Structure 1
Amino acid sequence: MHCVRTRFRNAVAALAVAGVALSGPAAAEGTLRIAEQFGIGYLPLHVMRHQQLIEKHGKALGLDIKVEWAQLSSGAAMNDALLSDSIDMASGGVGPLLTIWDRTRGNANVKAIGALNSMPLFLTTNNPNVKSIKDFTDKDKIALPAVKVSVQARTLQMAAEQAFGDGKFDVLDKVTVSLPHPDATTALLSGATEITGHLSSPPFQYQQLENPKIRKVLSSYDVLGGPHTFNLIWAKEAFKAKNPKTYAAFLAALKESMALIDKDHPAAATAYLAINKGDLDKGFVEKILNDPDIQFGVAPRNMGKYAEFMNKVGAIKNKPASWKEYFFEDVHGETGS
C-alpha cells in the first residue's frame, strides 16, 4: 500500500511540474487533460498536438476545447494519475491498460479509447556474454519502464516462461529495475553502470543498436508470434459519458493523426521532433517510420495473448472473452484481436 501511495505522490508531483491543473476533474465539456510517455509509440498524440487536431475537431462540433498535456514515464504512474482525476486520458502499454480495466470493472470502468500502434520491442544488451535471455545472471540489471507491470515487463515474463519452462515466468524479475527509457538508454550506451540490458521501444532501441557494442537479444514479435499492439490510450467511463463531444473530437483527431502519419512520414517526423526536444536526426526518425513492422491504428492486435498470460499468472482476475470487453464501443466495428 505504501508503494501505491508513493507512486501516486510521484505522479501528482510530475503532473504539477508538467503544468497540468491538479484541482480535480475537468468541470465540463471542452477541457481535456492528456498524459503521454516517451517514444515514437506516442506519435499519434504528438501529431495531433502539433497540428492541433483535437481543437480542430472540437470546433467542427461547436466546441472550443482546451487541451492540457503532461508527460509521465510509466503506465503505473498513468493509472494513479487517472484514478486520482489528475488527468482525463492516460496512455501506455498493454499491461497497464489490462491492469486498470480489470481493477475498475464495476466502478470506474476504465477502458481503451483506441490502440495507438503495433511495434516490436527489443531487449538489448551491452554484455558480450549474453546471447539469449538464459545468459543473464544476478550481476546483470535489465531496465524497464516499470517492473512487473509495464508491457515490457510482461513481455519479458512471457519470454522467460518460453525459455525456462511453464510457471517460471518470473525468473528474471529479480534483475529488472524501473527506469525511464531515455535514462536507461544513456546508462546502457555508457557501459559504466549496472544496467546491462534494456527492454524498450522505438526510437531508443534503434539508437542503441547504432552502437556496435549493443546487440539485440530478442524481439517481442518473436515472443508473441507476430505483430502486437504496444501502446493505447484509455479513460474512465464517466468522462466519456459526461463529455461526449470532447471524447468524439479526440477520437476523430486520433484517427486523422494516424492517417497523416501513414500519408507523410517526413511531416510526422517533423511533428515528433517538435514535441520531443532532442538531438535525433530527422532522417533517423523517418527511417524508423519506414520500417514495415511499425504501424499505427486504433484496432488492437494480439492483445488477447497478453490478457490470457496476465490472467494465467494472476496479474488480472478477469479473463476477457474478447478485446471488445476492454475497449469502448466506438471502435468495436474495427477488426481486432
Structure 2
Amino acid sequence: MLKRLFNSPRTGRLGTALLLAASISAGSLIAPQAAQAEGQLRIAEQFGVVYLLLNVARDQHLIEKHGKQAGIDIKVDWTQLSGGSAVNDALLSGAVDIAGAGVGPLLTIWDRTQGRQNVKAVASLGNFPYYLVSNNPNVKSIADFSEKDRIAVPAVSVSVQSRYLQLASARLWGDKDYARLDKYTINLPHPDASNAIKTGGTEVTAHFSNPPFQEQELETDGVHVVLNSYDLLGPNSPTLLFATEKFREENPKTYQAFIDALVEASDYIQRDKAGAADTYLRVTQSKADREQLIKIISNPQFEFTITPKNTYPLAEFLYRVGAIKHKPASWKDYFFQDAKLLQGS
C-alpha cells in the first residue's frame, strides 16, 4: 500500500528533503550547533504556493540585496523539509535559523521553549484557505470518516492541518473528543499525498494540504472538498516563519534584511501574478500547469502578506483542550513585535 509511495526510486530535492527530515527527527543523533554569525542565514521551507514569498526572495536574491544595503554580505542556505515536527527539530537542533511551518507547530514550539530558546513567529506568509479533500464518495463531512480511511497530513497532531481537523472535531463532538480523528491521520509529504489522492489505489483516501496541491487534486473526478479552513476560522494565516530569540538578538541586520526582503517579495507578487507563477515553477522545479498556477495565485481569497491574521482563535483552542500549557494573552505573545507587524491578529 503506502510502502510503494516511498520505495519507488526518487531523485532530486524531495528525496534529499525526506532524508534530512528523517535524520533531524532523530534528534539525539545531531549535536546542537552554535548560532550562525551575523551575515549567515539558514532557512527551512516546505511545499506549496504558501511559500511563494520565500520563493520570490530566493529567486531575486532579495535577502542579499537588503543585507548589502545594511552594510553586510549575507549567505543564505535553503533547506526543504516536510512537516512541522521535522522543521521544529531542525530549529531547536541549530540546523536552521528561520523555520517555515504552520501556526500549529509554531504554537507548540512557542509553548515548549518559554524561558529557554523563546521561539516566536517572525512573520506570516499570507492568508490562504486550506482544503481537506477526499476521493471516497461516502465521505461528505468529517463525521463520515471510518477505519477504512486514512487522512494524509504533514505532521500528525502537530501540523496546522491536524489542528484544523481537531478544531472541527471539537465543534462537532465537543472538546473532549477533539482528537477523535487523529487515529485516521498519517504523516505524508504533500507531493506524495497528492499523487495518492489523484491516482487512488492506496489506503490514503483524504488529504489536508495547501495550494497548489488541493486545487490540482480537485481536478480529478470524484475528488471533493470535505472541509475548508476558512469555514472554521474565516480568512487566517495558516503558515508562519519563526526563529529563536537568540538568533534575532544576535543577528539584527540579517534579521531585518530578511523582513525587508519578505515585504518586497509581497509587493512583487501583488504587482505581477504571472511573474510570481514563473518564479514558483523555476524555484521549485514544479511541473504544475502555468495557467492554472496563475489562476491559483490570483485567487481573491489569497493574500501574500507578512502581517498575521486571525491566528489567535486557534491558540485559544489549543490551550483550552490542553495541547499547549501556556495561554497567550494575544497574538503578540507568540510573535516578535516588529513595526511592520503591528496590525496583526
Instruction: Note whether the superposition's TM-score is higher than 0.5.
Output: yes
Per the alignment, in what secondary structure is the counterpart of residue 221 of structure 2?
Answer: coil
Corresponding residue number in structure 2 for 1:4:
none
Listed one character per residue, the Cα deviations across residues 28-85 of structure 1 (whole Å, up to 9, x for unaligned) are 2111000100000100000000000000000001111000000000111111011110
2:185, 2:36 → 1: CA distance? 40
Partner of residue 208, structure 1: 217
- Establish whether residue 298 from structure 1 lines up as the match of residue 311 from structure 2: no
Contact preservation (8 Å) 1:108, 1:237: yes
Give the Cα separation in 1 of the matches to 2:136 and 2:130. 19
Task: Name the CA shift for 1:49/1:71 in 2 (closer, same or farther; >3 Å).
Answer: same
Q: Which residue of 2 aligns with 1:264?
A: 272
**Which piece of structure 1 moves more, 27-36 or 244-253?**
27-36
Counterparts of 1:173-192 in structure 2 under 5 Å?
173-192=182-201
How far 1:289 sits from its partner (Å)? 0.9
Match of 2:144 among 135, 138, 144: 135
For residues 251 and 295 of structure 1, the distance between their equivalents in structure 2, rounded to whole angstroms, comes to: 17
Contact 1:299/1:331 (8 A) holds in 2: no
Superposed CA RMSD:
1.7
Structure 2 residue matching 1:167: 3-state secondary structure: helix
Aligned residue type for 1:174: K
In the TM superposition, residue 12 of structure 1 has moved relative to its aligned partner by: 6.8
Letter in 2 for 1:69: W
How many angstroms does 1:313 deviate by?
1.4
CA distance in 2, matches of 1:265, 1:22: 42
Shift of 1:255: 0.8
Contact 2:50 2:126 in 1 (8 A): yes
2:177 aligned with 1:172, yes or no?
no
Q: Residue 114 of structure 1 contacts residue 331 of structure 1 at CA under 8 Å; is this kept in 2?
A: no
Q: CA deviation at 1:162?
A: 1.6
Question: For structure 2, which runs of at least 5 residues remain unmatched after alignment?
Answer: 1-18
Q: CA deviation at 1:26?
A: 4.4
TM-score normalised to the size of structure 1?
0.92
Structure 1 alignment gaps of length 5 or more: 1-8, 16-20
Secondary structure, aligned partner of 2:176? coil
Q: Report the residue type matching 1:35 in the other structure.
A: A
Matches for 1:1-337 after TM superposition, within 5 Å:
11=21, 13=23, 24-224=33-233, 226-331=234-339, 334-337=342-345
Secondary structure of the structure 2 residue equivalent to 1:232: strand
Distance 1:143 1:42 in 2: 20
Aligned residues: 323
Once structures 1 and 2 are overlaid, which stretch shifts more, 275-284 or 30-39? 275-284
For the residues of structure 2 that align with 1:165 and 1:244, how far apart are their CA atoms?
45
